[in-house]
Amino acid sequence: MAQAPTGPGIVIRQAHFPGRAPIDAYGNGGFRFADMSHRGSILCLPSGIYGWEPKDPAAIDIDDLAKVFAESDDIEILLVGMGRDLRPIPKPVREALRAAGISSDPMSTGAALRTFNVLLADGRAVAAALIAVE
């Protein structure tokens, strides 16, 4: 007679890679980095790479970037990959980032991750908020 498992079963944790790594590829709704893949959007911060789910990818708000603000002392530039097309960062978000000492630059996700990789390799204080694309 088979015995039922007594452990907690499947444990779902918030996606987090504890380190800085270049992004190797993107598309199909996710990203590849550090010999791993992640389905969905990501935040690349000094403390690591996190799974990220903005409430409305077309209109990122201040709450969506709470982790960015928490690490603002270690970030000079935030690259925002807005998906396939360039869209502006909403004015209240731009102003809050500027007040925190962070320069923000919206662009397509592909351009943002390529720029992130270059600045990361140069040792710059860069972070990225990257919206996944299909």
Q: Mean pLDDT for each 10-residue chunk of the chain (134 residues)? A: 52 62 95 92 96 90 97 98 91 97 96 97 97 94
Distances in whole angstroms, Cα of residue 50 to Cα of each of 13, 63, 78? 11, 15, 15
Which pLDDT value is given to residue 44?
97
Which pLDDT value is given to residue 58?
83
Which pLDDT value is given to residue 93?
96
> pTM for this one?
0.86
The number of C-alpha atoms within 13 Å of 61 and in the hemisphere containing its C-beta is 3
Which pLDDT value is given to residue 102?
98
Tokens 């097309």 sit on residue: 85
DSSP 42-64: EEEETTEEEEE--S-TTS--TGG
- Answer whether CATH 3.40.1230.10 is correct for domain 16-130: yes
Domain map (residue ranges) of the chain: 16-130
Which pLDDT value is given to residue 100?
98
Burial 5-41 (b: 16+ CB within 10 A, else e): eeeeeeeeeebebeebeebeebeeebbebeeeebeeb
Encoding tokens for residue 59?
A: 């209109």
